[in-house]
Amino acid sequence: MKALACLIALLLLGNAQAAELQIQLGSTTRTWHSAELLAHPQAQEVRIAEDVAYKRDMRYRAVPLSALLDGVAPGDHLQVVALDGFAAELPAAGLLASQGAKAWLAVEDPARPWPPLGKGKPSAGPFYLVWSDPAASQIGPEQWPFQVARIRQLAPVAQRFPALLPAADASAEVQAGFAHFQKHCLACHRLNGAGDAEFGPDLNIPHNPTEYFAEDFLRRYVRDPQSLRRWPQGRMPGFSQEVLSERELAELIAYLAHMADIRD
């Protein structure tokens, strides 16, 4: 029995070391292992209220994300990529902030694995971007990527993907909708083939949702996808008014409708 316990302990230690997170900042790339992060001098136990992935309060061993972003400035832009192709676009200012909402990289300890996200599903690990006091900075659910594999510094979305840009003479409503699209949609979807996400379908090719949804049904779909299409495998979350107000939703739909006329 003692030999078996030692073998299990070695296997768990091996798993901790095997989980890797790649951070690419400028021309520098560093690979962090789970064991290194769990032992990081700034690692601590944090309590996350109403965790987005688990829908309840959770406790994690976590490192302030700012501690891993050496040389990154508030005006920079970062992308956090998950194992399933989810790609969250995040301004560096929020990730570096020490007041208001604070970003943490939660690290799964194989000796104390996190619960699965659902029946037959894995956990949110091995790495998960979580926030303390998210309401202080209006942090939305798309800014909580789990099963993180890579963090990289990139040019802003508008520079990388001009195919996402509305026309120069677009209204202020459409321009605001573009900002909401970047925050809430681009982590899962591409548009006009532009974007890095490999999670959900393109929202303009071959057709735009404003072309096949009546507006009131499109609003209902964004609020609660399962209310229109009951599909157990559906992965799109609903966006409450706390996350996306009625005005913001109208602006997002205005952007999508505008882009329906801008296709390659």
pLDDT in tens, 115-168: 999 888 999 999 999 999 998 998 988 999 999 999 999 999 999 999 999 999
What are the C-alpha distances in Å from 119 to residues 115, 179, 194, 231, 243?
10, 35, 33, 16, 27
- Give alpha helix (H) positions in the chain: 2-18, 34-38, 92-96, 157-160, 172-184, 209-212, 215-223, 246-259
Beta bridge partners of 140: none
* Amino acid in position 160: R
pLDDT given at position 235: 67
Question: What residues have CB less than 8 Å from 221, skipping those under 6 apart?
Answer: 209, 213, 227, 228, 229
Q: How is the chain split among helix, strand and coil, in percent rounded to 5?
A: 35, 20, 45
Tell me what percent of the residues of the chain surpass a pLDDT of 70: 90
pLDDT greater than 60 at residue 223? yes
What does the pLDDT average to over 227-256?
Answer: 83
Residues 101 and 118 placed together within one structural domain of the fold: yes
Residues 103 and 72 placed together within one structural domain of the fold: yes
Whether the link from the prior residue into 206 is cis, omega within 30° of 0, is: yes
pLDDT greater than 70 at residue 242? yes
Q: What CATH number does residue 150 fall under?
A: 3.90.420.10
User: Residue 106 half-sphere exposure, CB side, CA atoms within 13 Å?
Assistant: 27
What are the C-alpha distances in Å from 176 to residues 171, 181, 182, 244?
9, 9, 10, 12
- Global pTM value: 0.84
pLDDT given at position 264: 65
| The two structure tokens encoding residue 176 | 């605001």
Residues 136 and 166 placed together within one structural domain of the fold: no
The one-character DSSP state at 130 is: E
Per-residue pLDDT band at 7 (split at 50, 70, 90): very low
Domain end, chosen from 91, 120, 154, is at 154
Beta bridge partners of 229: none
Whether the link from the prior residue into 126 is cis, omega within 30° of 0, is: yes
Measured between alpha carbons, how far is 76 from 106 in angstroms, rounded to an integer? Answer: 22
State which residues form the domain around 185: 158-259
User: Residue 110 half-sphere exposure, CB side, CA atoms within 13 Å?
Assistant: 15
Residues 147 and 201 placed together within one structural domain of the fold: no
What does the pLDDT average to over 66-72?
Answer: 97
| The two structure tokens encoding residue 13 | 């230690």
- Residue 111 located in a structural domain: yes
Residues 179 and 148 placed together within one structural domain of the fold: no
pLDDT given at position 177: 95
pLDDT given at position 4: 40
pLDDT given at position 215: 84
pLDDT given at position 206: 94
Total domains present in the chain = 2
Residues 75 and 103 placed together within one structural domain of the fold: yes
* The 77-82 sheet, strands edge to edge: 28-33, 20-25, 148-154, 77-82, 87-91
Domain end, chosen from 154, 187, 221, is at 154
* CA dihedral for 233, 236, 241, 247, sign (positive or negative): negative
The one-character DSSP state at 100 is: S
- Residue 257's SS3 state is helix
Torsion angle in degrees (nearest 10) through CA of 73, 53, 148, 26:
-10
Residues 175-207: tens digit of each pLDDT? 999 999 999 999 889 999 999 888 889 999 999
pLDDT greater than 60 at residue 60? yes
Residues 91 and 59 placed together within one structural domain of the fold: yes
Least-confidence region, from 1-5, 72-76, 125-129, 255-259: 1-5
* Amino acid in position 62: A
What does the pLDDT average to over 22-28?
Answer: 96
Per-residue pLDDT band at 226 (split at 50, 70, 90): confident
pLDDT given at position 105: 98
